[in-house]
Amino acid sequence: MTSKTGVATAVFDNRTYQGQPSKYPSWKIMIGNEEFVSYTNDDIGIKQGDNVSFDCGVSKKTGKFYIESDYETKKPKIKVIPADVTAPAEEIPLDDDLSNMQPDHFASNKVEDKSDFNYGANKQPTTQFVDNKSMQIFCSAMTKSALESSQLKADRQSIQSFIKDMKEIFKSEF
């Protein structure tokens, strides 16, 4: 689905043919050299020279453009843009001066902050809890992987050194 805007150069009412109701009533709207079809029996209120805006799609069967209809009301999604409406020539200024704004981190849960906590300032080092079982599993998996890929020698000193390095990596990362 895409939106299209333009001046209707021609509008054809194909709801009747030689005085007989059409089996597939529709309206054809030309914008430039493009043809758009609105499949409805209702009057869409568009005439030649109107500036129109609508949602359109491409038929899978014929490959032609058609004007989409609302799913519930079955009315075509087409509107005439009034000629007397002018768009703003410049941006609308915002009155949001945030230079003196103090963030309220507890506004959503109605908790009052009585501390003078400054995020990130005077950060004290904290001791981390090391899960020995997880560290053992990590070191075993890394050692097995390194041995299987032949990137680690299978002697005692190489394996001990590798496990020591993996323990340090685990402590610093996890």
What tens digit of pLDDT does each residue of 62-111 get? 888 888 888 888 888 888 888 776 655 556 566 666 667 666 655 555 55
Specify the pTM: 0.46
Q: Which pLDDT band, with edges at 50, 70 and 90, does 170 fall under?
A: confident
The torsion of the CA quartet 33, 37, 43, 45, rounded to 10 degrees, works out to: -30
Domain spans of the chain, in order of start: 2-80, 132-173
pLDDT of residue 122: 53
2-80 CATH, one of 2.40.10, 1.20.120, 2.60.40, 2.40.50: 2.40.50
Q: Measure the CA–CA gap between 55 and 33, rounded to whole angstroms.
A: 18
Per-residue pLDDT tens for 114-151?
A: 656 555 555 555 556 677 888 888 889 989 988 888 88
> What does residue 149 show for φ and ψ, rounded to 5 degrees?
-90, 5
